[in-house]
Chain A
Amino acid sequence: MPAKAILSVQGVSKSFGGLKALRNVNLTVEENSIHAIIGPNGAGKSTLLNILVGLIAADEGVILYDGSPLTGLSPYKIIQKGIARVFQTPQIFPALSLLENVAIAAFARRDGQFGIKMREALRPGHPVLEEAADILHHVGLAAYMSEKAQYLSRGDKRRLELALCLVSKPRLLLLDEPTAGMSRHDTNRTIDLLRALSRQGMTKIIIEHDMHVVFSLADRISVLAQGHVIAEGHPEAVRADARVQEAYLGGVHAQ
Chain B
Amino acid sequence: MTDDMSVLQAARSSASPTLRPRGLGGRDYVVISAFALVILTMPMWILTIGGYEALATKIVIWGLFALGFDIMLGFTGYLSFGHAAFFGTAAYATGLSLKHLTPNLLPALGISIVTAVLIGGLIGVLSLRRSGIYFSILSLAFAEMLHAAALSIFQQYTGGDNGLTGLPLPMLFGLQMQGIAVFYVAAVLLIIGFAVAWKIKRAPFGLMLRAIKENPLRLEYAGINIWAYKMAAFMISTVYAGIAGFLMVVYQPYVATQYVHWSTSGEVVIMSVIGGVGTLVGPILGAGFMLYFENVVQAIIGEQWRLVLGFVFVCVVIFLPGGFVALGHTIWHRLGHLVRSRRRNVSDMETDSETSGRSSARAGAYTSGEHDAC
Binding site for B on A (CB under 8 A): 53, 74-76, 79-80, 84-85, 87, 91-97, 99-100, 103-105, 107-109, 111-131, 133-138, 140-143, 145-148, 161, 164, 166-169, 192-193, 196-197, 199-200
- 13 A-B pairs in the complex with CB atoms less than 8 angstroms apart: A93-B210, A93-B218, A100-B367, A121-B199, A123-B202, A130-B15, A130-B361, A131-B11, A133-B14, A142-B360, A169-B11, A197-B7, A200-B7
Do A121 and B207 have beta carbons less than 8 Å apart? no
Question: Quick check: B360 and A145 within 8 Å, CB to CB?
Answer: yes
Are B225 and A146 neighbours in the complex by a CB distance under 8 Å?
Answer: no
B215 touches A121 (CB 8 A): no
Q: A85-B221, A127-B14 are in contact. Are A146 and B207 (CB under 8 A)?
A: no
How many angstroms from the CA of A10 to the CA of B222 in the assembled complex?
A: 26
List residues of chain B with CB within 8 A of the CB of A53: 221
Q: Is B303 part of the binding interface, using a Cβ–Cβ cutoff of 8 Å?
A: no
- Asked whether A146 and B368 contact (CB < 8 A) given A93-B214, A117-B205, A128-B15, the answer is yes
CB distance from A52 to the nearest CB of B (A): 12
Min Cβ gap A248→B in Å is 28
Chain B residues positioned under 8 Å from A97 (CB to CB): 366-368
With A124-B364, A133-B361 given, is the CB distance from A92 to B215 under 8 Å?
yes
- Measured between beta carbons, the chain A residues less than 8 angstroms from B54 are none
State which size class the interface on B falls in: 35 or more
Residue in contact with B357 in the complex, picked from A118, A119, A127, A143, CB distance below 8 Å: A143
User: CB-CB < 8 A to B232: which residues of A?
Assistant: 114, 116
Question: Is B300 interfacial (CB 8 A cutoff)?
Answer: no
Contact residues in B for A143 (Cβ distance below 8 Å): 350-353, 356-357, 360
* Given contacts A96-B214, A108-B222, A108-B223, A126 and B5 within 8 Å (CB-CB): no
Q: Which one of A95, A108, A114 lies within 8 Å of B228 (CB-CB)?
A: A114
A sample of 16 more A-B contacts (CB under 8 A), given A85-B221, A96-B211, A100-B368, is A84-B221, A91-B215, A95-B210, A104-B224, A105-B223, A113-B224, A118-B199, A124-B361, A124-B363, A126-B19, A130-B15, A133-B14, A143-B357, A192-B4, A197-B4, A199-B5
Is the CB of B10 closer than 8 A to any CB of chain A? yes
A168 adjacent to B363 (CB under 8 Å): no
Q: Is there a chain A Cβ closer than 8 Å to B371's Cβ?
A: no
Asked if residues B353 and A79 are in contact (CB atoms below 8 Å), the reply is no
Q: Would you call B211 and A93 a contact (CB within 8 A)?
A: yes
- Complex Cα distance, B356 from A179, in Å, reads 25
> Quick one: closest A residue to B357, CB to CB?
A142
- A120 contacts B221, C-beta separation under 8 Å: no
Looking at the assembled complex, report how far the CB atom of B166 sits from the nearest CB atom of chain A, in whole angstroms. Answer: 41
Tell me how far the C-beta of A239 lies from the nearest C-beta in chain B, rounded to whole angstroms: 26
CB distance from B22 to the nearest CB of A (A): 6
For B214, give the chain A residue with the smallest CB separation. A93
Q: Mark B207-234, 1 if CB is under 8 A from A, else 0.
A: 1101100110111111111101100100
Task: With a 10 A CB-CB cut-off, give which of A121, A122, A136 has the most chain B CB atoms.
Answer: A121
Q: What CA separation (Å) do A116 and B231 show in the bound complex?
A: 12
Contact of A124 among B211, B224, B362 (CB under 8 A): B362
Asked if B307 is at the interface (CB within 8 A of a chain A CB), the reply is no
Across-interface contacts of A96 in B (CB, < 8 A): 207, 210-211, 214, 368
In the complex, B24 has a CB within 8 A of chain A: yes
Best-buried of B10, B205, B223, B356 by chain A (most CB within 10 Å): B223
Cβ–Cβ contact B356 & A99, under 8 A:
no
Q: B8 at interface (Cβ–Cβ under 8 A)? A: yes
Chain B neighbourhood of A145, CB < 8 A: 357, 360-361, 366
Q: B174 interface residue, CB < 8 Å from A?
A: no
Most buried by A among B24, B202, B222, B225: B222
Task: Give the CA-CA distance A194 to B166 in the complex, in Å.
Answer: 73
Complex contacts, A116 vs chain B, CB 8 Å: 203, 205, 232
* B3 surroundings in chain A (CB, below 8 A): 138
Q: Which residue of B lies closest to A193 (CB)?
A: B4
| Contacts known (A92-B215, A96-B211, A116-B205); A166 close to B7, Cβ less than 8 A | yes
Please measure, in the bound complex, the distance between the C-alpha atom of A196 and the C-alpha atom of B365, giving whole angstroms: 31
Provided the pairs A138-B7, A143-B350 are in contact, do residues A133 and B357 lie with their beta carbons within 8 angstroms?
A: yes
Asked if B1 is at the interface of the complex by the 8 Å CB criterion, the answer is: yes
Q: Does A94 lie within 8 Å of B214, measured CB to CB?
A: yes
Chain B residues with CB under 8 Å of A113's CB are 223-225, 228
Contact partner of B356 among A79, A126, A142, A200, CB < 8 A?
A: A142
Q: Given A107-B208, A200-B5, are A168 and B222 neighbors across the interface (CB < 8 Å)? A: yes
Say whether B270 faces chain A, with CB atoms less than 8 Å apart: no
Q: Is B22 in contact with A138, judged by CB distance below 8 angstroms?
A: no
* Complexed CA–CA distance, A157 and B351 (Å): 17
Nearest chain A CB to B215 CB, angstrom units: 5
Given known pairs A121-B28, A122-B203, the reply for A104 and B211 (CB within 8 Å) is yes
Residues of B with C-beta under 8 A to A141: 353
Q: Which of B200, B203, B232: most chain A Cβ within 10 A?
A: B203
Minimum C-beta distance from A1 to chain B (A): 25
Q: Considering the chains assembled together, what is the distance between the CA atoms of A143 and B223 in angstroms?
A: 27
A-B complex: 10 closest residue pairs judged by Cβ atoms = A142-B357, A133-B361, A79-B223, A120-B21, A93-B214, A113-B225, A196-B4, A137-B357, A143-B353, A91-B218
Bound CA span A114–B28, Å: 25
- Please, which residue of chain B has its CB at the minimum distance from the CB of A104? B211
Chain B residue with the shortest CB-CB distance to A130: B14
Could you say which of A128, A130, A135, A200 has the most chain B C-beta atoms within 10 Å of its C-beta? Answer: A130
Chain A residues with CB below 8 A from B199, complex form: 118, 121
Alpha-carbon distance between A199 and B19 when the two chains are bound, in angstroms: 29
Smallest beta-carbon distance A181→chain B, Å: 18
User: How far is A124 from B356 in the complex, measured between Cα atoms in Å?
Assistant: 16
